[in-house]
């Protein structure tokens, strides 16, 4: 397993093998037949194509393995991202729909949500995970093998593909929520 892992890690390995093989064959040819070219001339087209095919499959194997490892690592990490929490927790003050899903907008407990001020605006936070737009269940996120992320509702089966991780979308939702709150404050002045 270790050898296979090693062979599947280094993207240069197949290229080195591809370049070195003719040299090794001609060196061996020189030693055994006293003629550099003799053994190379014995190689048929079929054998050459087979050799090329092996190199190409090897490269593809490396690319797929690397991708698989990245996806696995990111899926593990996604569950373990730490965030800073206020001592008393948060209180949701409103909800917005952004990027096709629902985001809870909250402030640390103790801030009087009825007396929204510019101070409140700076302290708002977006709760993760976002919620399903159909049934309001918290969504699950997994890394897609090809590109981006998949968000899934375990309750109703709603799914959505998204290019960016939801932590990034939460930052965008926060900008929108901030603006909504600022607007609300201005209106009530």
Q: Contact between 63 and Zn ion (CB under 5 A)?
A: no
Q: Contact between 135 and Zn ion (CB under 5 A)?
A: yes
* Cβ neighbour number for residue 106 with a 10 Å cutoff: 22
Residue 152 Cβ, how far from Zn ion at the closest point, in Å? 9
Give how many residues touch Zn ion by CB under 5 A. 8
Specify the stretch interacting with Zn ion by CB under 5 A; choose among 15-23, 33-41, 125-133, 178-186.
125-133
Residue 71 Cβ, how far from Zn ion at the closest point, in Å? 24
Closest among 88, 103, 100 to 180, alpha carbons compared: 103
| Residues of span 142-161 touching Zn ion by CB under 5 A | 153, 155-156, 158
Closest among 131, 45, 42, 127 to 91, alpha carbons compared: 127
Q: Quick one: 160 or 180, whose CB is closer to Zn ion?
A: 160
Closest among 65, 49, 69 to 7, alpha carbons compared: 65
Cα dihedral 171, 177, 178, 183, rounded to 10, equals: 160
Site residues, Zn ion (CB under 5 A): 132, 134-135, 137, 153, 155-156, 158
């Amino acid at each position: 397993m270790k050898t296979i892992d090693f062979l599947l890690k280094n993207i240069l390995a197949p290229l080195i093998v591809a370049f070195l093989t003719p040299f090794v064959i001609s060196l061996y040819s020189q030693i055994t037949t006293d003629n550099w070219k003799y053994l190379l001339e014995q190689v048929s087209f079929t054998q050459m194509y087979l050799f090329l095919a092996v190199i190409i499959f090897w490269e593809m194997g490396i690319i797929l393995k690397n991708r698989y490892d990245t996806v696995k690592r990111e899926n593990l990490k996604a569950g373990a991202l730490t965030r800073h929490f206020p001592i008393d927790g948060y209180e949701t003050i409103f909800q917005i729909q952004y990027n096709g899903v629902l985001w809870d907008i909250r402030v640390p407990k103790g801030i009087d949500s009825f007396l929204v001020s510019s101070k409140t605006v700076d302290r708002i936070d977006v709760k993760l995970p976002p919620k399903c737009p159909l049934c309001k269940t918290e969504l699950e996120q997994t890394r897609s093998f090809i590109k981006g992320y998949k968000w899934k509702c375990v309750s109703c089966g709603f799914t959505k593909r998204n290019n960016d991780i939801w932590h990034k979308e939460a930052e965008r939702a926060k900008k929108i929520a901030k603006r909504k709150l600022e607007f609300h404050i201005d209106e009530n002045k």
